[in-house]
Structure 1
Amino acid sequence: MRRPFVLFTIPIVLGIIFYYYFHTNIYLILALFLLTLIINIIGVKLGERVSIAVFVSLFLLGILITGIKMEGSRLAKHVERPIELMGSVKEVKSVSKGAGRYVIKVHKAMDNGRKIKVSEKALLKVLGEEELEIGSKVKFRGVLKEPLPNTNPRLFNYKLNLLADNIYTTITIKDYSITGIEKENINFLLRLRKGFINKVEEGLDLYLSEENSSLMKSILLGKYSYLDEETIQQFRDLGLAHILAVSGLHIGIIASLVTTLLAYSGMNRKFNISLAIGILWIYGFIIGNPVSVLRANIMFTILLISQLGAEPYDSINTMFFASFILIIINPFWIFNLGFQLSFIATFSILYFTEKISAILYLNDNSILKSLLGILSVQIGLLPILVYYFNRIPTIGLMANLVLIPIFTICLILSIFLIFFSLFGSSIAYSIGVLVNFLLKAQFNSIKILSYFPILNIKAPSPSIFGILIYYVMVLILFGVINIRKFNIRVNKAIIFYLLFIILVNALLFNLDSSLAVNFVDVGQGDSILLKTKEGYYLIDTGGNIFGDFDIGKSILLPYLEKEGIFKLKGVFISHFDADHCKNLPYLIDNIKIENIYFGYEREENDLYRQIVGKALKKEIPIRVLKKGDKLKLDEDINIYVIGPSDNILTNPNTTDNDLSLVLLLNYYDYNILFTGDIERLGEENVQDSLNRDIDFLKVPHHGSNTSSGENFLYSLNPNIGFASVGRNNSFGHPHKEVLDRYKTHNVEVYRTDELGLINLTLNKYGYKIVPFLRDKWSIIDIVQDYSSYIIYLIFYFFLSYKMAIEFLLIEEEMAKIELQGIY
């Protein structure tokens, strides 16, 4: 077997993914794993092929190691209750005014007077002025929490990100909850890490400008925190973000530099390579061993050892060996963006560069090789970058070709600068002048390239199926999958089938007149997306009331872009409280909006003035709706304005909540009522205005006890309610008495704090409600939830198969007729 680790790694990865998304019985998996091992052993003894059994064994092994890893946390068994923890600070994540985030290695815990011996990491957030240092021993009280996954589709998964760092729990405390801090005598390795980081920071700060020093610190120490958001975004827009992350490129430069310098010094080759390997692993430890560095270090270690022993080296097999080792150590690394980018970029350079060179008949010119390497990476990473960032850099190839050589020179010079800065020599000053000049040229080049009219093309996040199709097409294009080896009739059948798929999907798209109502999880606030055939509408945009977390930037806009929504036909604002409209100014700046609808005007409100100002600047029309107005969103979708009524508008004692824009959406026989934050007056207006039952109700005011009155629910008689509410919010929403009231009226309430985004899809035949957060799938769940899709797919494949067969038979008959005509 030429590349065994390619075949070993793939089934393990599939097993890891299976465990994360599906219910599994770990004891049953263990039994099946042992059974397949026995089958493999018997098969080998009998001389039989056991490739399928080996694949199944490795798949089950992937499930097992993930299950064992997931169940291995002792702290996770003590979440949601007070606990006392003792441990040492292993990493300072961030420190800002009034808050600090630290990785703590917990050694002891006290739960209700019972001692628990543990040895695992937890993420500690300290609110207040107290700052901790690496190595400090700390004792504190608080409540452990299990980190949340993303609560809206395809957004950043905080839980998986922490699991990739072996962190299973988080805890947030005030600084007065810290009961003891001791300065520990840190060990040699921690002193080495701390000292190295300090020397790098001091040397670069002393001899480089502030902007250049921040960039080189970020590159050498692998931390984005040294850079401002604008600089990071500039690099991303030009397809240069990989420069900011320590990766194989950096490790390769360091390895080459070290081995070359040691060789010129006349050092013994064996000692040279051994020392180079040691330096690479020490450097990896100092910067926190990011997974991209671990991958590069494993590969370069094997490469250098193979050179020492004059042994053959297969870079692709070595890359998969590195992947195999890493996912055995921590299976959750496969969900880490750094892991994905590192391995796909490396594979693309190793595999596609040679293929492209052969297709274009290029020679071994070093400049052309660099260009092909950059092109290979762009091709390999394209769907992954689009999935995560929803951008396709238009001049990424040019920017990389121009700037990577400058970056490489600056990295090498900066390493020398740090070394000579230890002695305070004039050489360090001279190097600093040169690096400043080159980096200034680099930043100027970035600014010039940033003037390009279209820096990137926005694109929706592709589905997993779409990503697989892309890579299959790339493999066919480069001849990895050689379709010429297939029978010509098979190729014709494949082409026919693809055309059939396109035709059927185009037909279904045109016939689809369904309505989707998505209650987006924006925390303590409202934002509802209406997806019609004619376009997209938002009812409210959400917005944080407390803190500086930007929901529009971090949740709402990324969600819309991942859904492929780059234009909104309209945005309805119920009222001008921050949790309903604070994100609208940001949306106006970053997405095309055709219309904005208000229910009233409020000149004295800062958010109102800000929205109006930005709308005027962008020439977006604003329409103030009145009770009785009707808007046609689509052929069978109409919105009727129910409130606020004139008496509410003219009443000087009316609160902003009761001024909420109330909308009734009618779709075929279904009625959906969107209520904003209406309270008693608003609800009485709705009762007086509507003489029909409501099928679906947006629970007023997040389930506050000032809303959802008894008469209101009796009058509307809703079947289902949707509450947009934040987790553990300080208001106590939804209030228990309100939930009890809905229960008394037999109204099932779906809550975004429990279920994340909630999707309500309707067509003229029925409706379906699918929450984003749910338990892991089982086979029964899949059959129950997706039975219609399964039946459709079975029918779809059967019909296309029969049509393909008929197509081939007709072609065969035509060939016979043609031959008969000849003879």
Structure 2
Amino acid sequence: MPPLLPWQPCLLAYAAGILAVAFFLPALCALFLLLLFPRPMAGTPRLAAFLLAFALGLGAGFLAMPTPPDTTPACLAKVQPVTATGRVIEVDPRPGNRQAVLLEAVRLTGGECQETPLPGRLAVTIDHPVFDPVPGDVLAVTGRMRPTSGFANPGATDFAFLRRLDGVFFRTFARGDRAQVTRLSQGHNVLATWRQALRARIAAALALPPDAPSLDEAAKAGRAMVPALLFDDKSGFTEDDLDLVRRASLAHTLALSGMNVGYVVALATALVLGLGRITPGVYLRLPRPLLIVLVSAPLVVAYCWIGGASPSLVRAGLMFAAFGLMLLLRRDKALFDGLFLALAVFLIVSPLAVFSASLQLSALAVAGIAVFWPPFVRLTRRIPGSGLPRTALLWTLGVLWTSITAEAAVLPLLARLFGDWPFNPWINLLWLPILGGVVMPLVLGGAALAAVPGLEPAASLLLTAGADCCAWLMRALAAFDAQGLLVSHAVLRPTWPQIIGCYGLLAILALAAAGRALPRAGLAASLLLLLAPTALHCIEDSQPDVSVTVFDVGQGQSVAVAIPGGRRLLIDAGGLFGSFDVGRAVVGASLTDGRPPHIDLAFASHPHSDHVKGFVSLLTRFTVDAWYDNGGTPEGDLAAPIAAALAKRAIPQHSLAAGDAVDLGDGLAIEVLHPGPDDDRNTNNGSLILRLTQNGHGLALFPGDAETRVLRKLAAQGHTLQADILVVPHHGSSSSFAKRFYAAVAPKVAIASAGDSGPYPSGKVFDALARLGCATYATNRNGAVTVRVDGEGNIKRVETQR
């Protein structure tokens, strides 16, 4: 492990200070662990320097953090469409023909809004756009403006905080093909206009002749990969394409970042080497490293411009500049020092960049390669042989070693961010050489030719060749997937102490590999941080308590029930329209927060997508011991993937009806109150109505989307409905209003699962419950709601995420 310069640990303390703005205790623990590691030189930097750097980071983070508005504009009190007019500052093409656009200086008109300024920036999702906006354009967007409340769930991503980092406090959705988005004026950003013109030329070069046969899915994905590699435009991909790439551990190759800049530098290096072959005397005038840096610099700048100067690409370009500077200064550890220099520039200019997942992953990957490359070099010196065979072997081992060390360095963070581990480094041996050595030269060369009038046929030839190579790569991935070779597992998402402990142990491993003394205190602290959360969970699971958590899944429903012994039940898994996977990103993320991806019993109350769509990814990625449903058929195209997942994982299936019961042990049971034999299982009124009991006492009632007629019928028939916790039927809709039912349940706590896109929960529903002395909660205002019940059946406390 390269020894750190005195200022480099202080930079880490500065970064911890910035993180402390949002995560004070984790940042403080990270600082404490840093202090337990050996200093670069005896006595330097002193403790005061660390504390000062931490305080400076804390101050910089506070000053840079956007302040959320105190109130929402009064004219948005009524949920109705208004028109927002603002200037485009960022455009991000998304899969499925979508655009994510950021507007600033937004003013609202229509309804009760009269040129009302909107605080902060506005995030606009445009479905089926009819034109491509560029930064500087002024757009008028008509839609419902909503606060960026996000999904507030325990242990899951805080989407509202991520938006706040960009100064975004409101969002809206619009359809371009319904005239909901218009361009009022074009911007005067010349570079953005040129870039848009180049995109149009490349699209024309890739266009098929009118009489050409239709493309298969792999060929379409291959053509979509060209604008993705050049412009970070993934709108041509399907979600299945991106999922295939992600499960192959190759998603980083489609994100314009350090690897893509590395390809550009490699191309420049090849040009320099070729020039040296032709005119060796050039090295007498300029040393080869200097010549590589000089040739690479304009190519990297041009690539950053083509890629839209996204934050990740700009950071990668600055990292290249830092590496180049260290190389020119003849630093013996240019990669490591260049990384720290680049990070220092990032965090001084833009302190909030420390919260960027892409920066964190890039920095960790580079650090992992830099730290563990010297041991690899020492090992390869022992490999016998000479000539081309040895060179080919070393090159292959080098690619594999680089991939493994980079993945090992980012693994704890990847597990936390995404909750799965698609570890397939061997695929890099196929993908990376073809992508970097064949596809990128063809695509970059084609883009350069496309910019020159009259060279369109040559540009089309190169770009089409690059797209065809990408198509064959996608076919190879599909073949690997068909053989079950793309291994991707849902994993426990480490908590923040475990992440800090993991990186402490990785640092100690690096010290051991370098033959340096190991910090015993640092080793002990790292192990404690790694193991303590698991020990605490074991203690918690040994208690006789029961908890019911209604997740914040937007306009849908998902409820987790934790019972003694660490067992978990999941009743519904939510689901939204569009491609956003609630099961993976929200429900699954919360379930795996410090715990393995396991569900003991899964219940589908009825087959509507807002209750079962999230199960598609959960059944595929989690271990599920048993599946229970109402016997209905999942709506739309959900039936096939759910059935396939159940069959592939050999999950026992049961259809429940009134009178059934599921014994959970420890005096706990699930009673089934509905549906009966004559109920239509595919409708709201065919929902499972489940009652959780403990020694006969009703703990919770889960009525699904059952409506007024069914609820009144149950109350009139004299069923025992009493339960301390009521998950309000049908998201609190007035169509499920039933006062006699509420009285029969007599809940102490009622929770409605609802999004912010409709009139849920109904005021009269909550008023009727409140008159019974029941405390009411709704996920669209309280976030996820957890009710904890002790072993005697008494409610201990109610926890909300907002």
Give the TM-score of the pair, scaled to structure 1: 0.76
Code of the aligned partner of 1:292: S
Give the structure 1 partner of residue 785 of structure 2. 758
Q: Does 1:738 align with 2:765?
A: yes
Structure 1 distance, partners of 2:465, 2:397, is 27
**1:588–1:80 CA distance, 2 compared to 1 (3 A):** farther
Contact 1:140–1:177 (CA under 8 A) maintained in structure 2: no
Give 1:342 deviation, angstroms: 0.9
**1:770–1:200 CA distance, 2 compared to 1 (3 A):** farther
Give the structure 2 partner of residue 31 of structure 1. none
Q: Does 1:522 align with 2:559?
A: no
Give the structure 1 partner of residue 430 of structure 2. 402
Give the structure 2 partner of residue 193 of structure 1. 195
**1:321–1:164 CA distance, 2 compared to 1 (3 A):** farther
Which of 58, 62, 77 aligns to 1:63? It is 58
Contact 2:364–2:409 (CA under 8 A) maintained in structure 1: yes
**1:309–1:115 CA distance, 2 compared to 1 (3 A):** farther
SS of 2:323's equivalent in the other structure is helix
Give 1:14 deviation, angstroms: 2.3
Which of 304, 308, 314 aligns to 2:324? It is 304
Give the structure 2 partner of residue 571 of structure 1. 602
Give the structure 2 partner of residue 641 of structure 1. 672
Give the structure 2 partner of residue 228 of structure 1. 238
Give the structure 1 partner of residue 349 of structure 2. 329
Structure 1 distance, partners of 2:188, 2:741, is 65
Q: Does 1:705 align with 2:737?
A: no
Give 1:320 deviation, angstroms: 2.3
Give the structure 1 partner of residue 663 of structure 2. 632
Give the structure 1 partner of residue 139 of structure 2. 138
Contact 2:657–2:688 (CA under 8 A) maintained in structure 1: no
Structure 2 distance, partners of 1:4, 1:262, is 36
Structure 2 distance, partners of 1:603, 1:466, is 41
CA distances 1:385-411 after superposition (whole Å, capped 9, x unpaired): 2223333334x2211123212221121
Structure 2 distance, partners of 1:476, 1:323, is 22
Which of 7, 29, 50 aligns to 2:9? It is 7
SS of 2:723's equivalent in the other structure is coil
Give the structure 2 partner of residue 538 of structure 1. 570
Mean CA deviation greater in 674-683 or 476-485: 476-485
Give the structure 1 partner of residue 124 of structure 2. 124
Give 1:50 deviation, angstroms: 7.9
Give the structure 2 partner of residue 292 of structure 1. 312
Q: Does 1:460 align with 2:461?
A: no
Structure 2 distance, partners of 1:137, 1:699, is 44
**1:160–1:197 CA distance, 2 compared to 1 (3 A):** farther
Structure 1 distance, partners of 2:495, 2:757, is 32
Contact 1:754–1:773 (CA under 8 A) maintained in structure 2: no
SS of 1:460's equivalent in the other structure is coil
Give 1:753 deviation, angstroms: 1.4
Give the structure 2 partner of residue 28 of structure 1. none
Give the structure 2 partner of residue 784 of structure 1. none
Structure 2 distance, partners of 1:576, 1:86, is 40
Give the structure 2 partner of residue 685 of structure 1. 714
Q: What count of residue pairs does the alignment treat as equivalent?
A: 740
RMSD, matched Cα: 4.7
Contact 2:619–2:642 (CA under 8 A) maintained in structure 1: no
**1:563–1:190 CA distance, 2 compared to 1 (3 A):** same
- Equivalent residues in 2 for 1:555-594 (5 A)? 555-557=586-588, 559-560=590-591, 566-581=597-612, 583=614, 591=622, 593-594=624-625
Which one has a bigger Cα radius of gyration? Answer: 1
**1:73–1:737 CA distance, 2 compared to 1 (3 A):** closer
Give 1:564 deviation, angstroms: 5.0
Structure 1 distance, partners of 2:487, 2:206, is 31
Give 1:698 deviation, angstroms: 1.9
Give 1:64 deviation, angstroms: 2.9
Contact 2:222–2:468 (CA under 8 A) maintained in structure 1: no
Structure 2 distance, partners of 1:487, 1:539, is 47
Contact 2:96–2:239 (CA under 8 A) maintained in structure 1: no
SS of 1:740's equivalent in the other structure is helix
Give 1:380 deviation, angstroms: 0.7
Contact 1:374–1:401 (CA under 8 A) maintained in structure 2: no
Give the structure 2 partner of residue 238 of structure 1. 248
SS of 2:751's equivalent in the other structure is strand
Give 1:688 deviation, angstroms: 5.0
SS of 1:572's equivalent in the other structure is strand
Contact 1:657–1:679 (CA under 8 A) maintained in structure 2: no
**1:735–1:278 CA distance, 2 compared to 1 (3 A):** same
Give the structure 1 partner of residue 338 of structure 2. 318
Give 1:349 deviation, angstroms: 1.0
Q: Which has the higher helix share?
A: 1
Contact 1:659–1:678 (CA under 8 A) maintained in structure 2: no
**1:146–1:233 CA distance, 2 compared to 1 (3 A):** same
Contact 1:97–1:129 (CA under 8 A) maintained in structure 2: no
Which of 480, 491, 508 aligns to 2:539? It is 508
Structure 2 distance, partners of 1:241, 1:580, is 29
Contact 1:299–1:318 (CA under 8 A) maintained in structure 2: yes
Mean CA deviation greater in 259-268 or 159-168: 259-268
Structure 1 distance, partners of 2:124, 2:523, is 60
**1:516–1:479 CA distance, 2 compared to 1 (3 A):** same
**1:583–1:465 CA distance, 2 compared to 1 (3 A):** closer
Percentage of matched positions with identical amino acids: 21
SS of 2:21's equivalent in the other structure is helix
Give the structure 1 partner of residue 160 of structure 2. 159
| Unpaired runs of at least 5, structure 1 | 24-47, 775-823
SS of 2:511's equivalent in the other structure is coil
Give 1:304 deviation, angstroms: 3.1
| Unpaired runs of at least 5, structure 2 | 26-42, 210-214, 384-390
**1:354–1:689 CA distance, 2 compared to 1 (3 A):** farther
Code of the aligned partner of 1:318: G
Structure 2 distance, partners of 1:378, 1:696, is 45
**1:279–1:595 CA distance, 2 compared to 1 (3 A):** closer
Give the structure 2 partner of residue 473 of structure 1. 505
Give the structure 2 partner of residue 344 of structure 1. 364
Structure 2 distance, partners of 1:98, 1:258, is 34
Code of the aligned partner of 2:723: I
Which of 226, 238, 250 aligns to 1:216? It is 226
Structure 1 distance, partners of 2:71, 2:721, is 49
Mean CA deviation greater in 601-610 or 530-539: 601-610
Give 1:637 deviation, angstroms: 1.4
Structure 2 distance, partners of 1:107, 1:492, is 52
**1:558–1:258 CA distance, 2 compared to 1 (3 A):** same
Q: Does 1:376 align with 2:377?
A: no
Contact 2:714–2:741 (CA under 8 A) maintained in structure 1: no
Structure 2 distance, partners of 1:351, 1:477, is 10
Contact 1:142–1:171 (CA under 8 A) maintained in structure 2: yes
Contact 2:547–2:789 (CA under 8 A) maintained in structure 1: yes
**1:205–1:303 CA distance, 2 compared to 1 (3 A):** farther
Q: Does 1:89 align with 2:116?
A: no
Structure 2 distance, partners of 1:482, 1:257, is 32
**1:762–1:606 CA distance, 2 compared to 1 (3 A):** same
**1:571–1:102 CA distance, 2 compared to 1 (3 A):** same
SS of 2:338's equivalent in the other structure is helix
Give 1:191 deviation, angstroms: 2.3
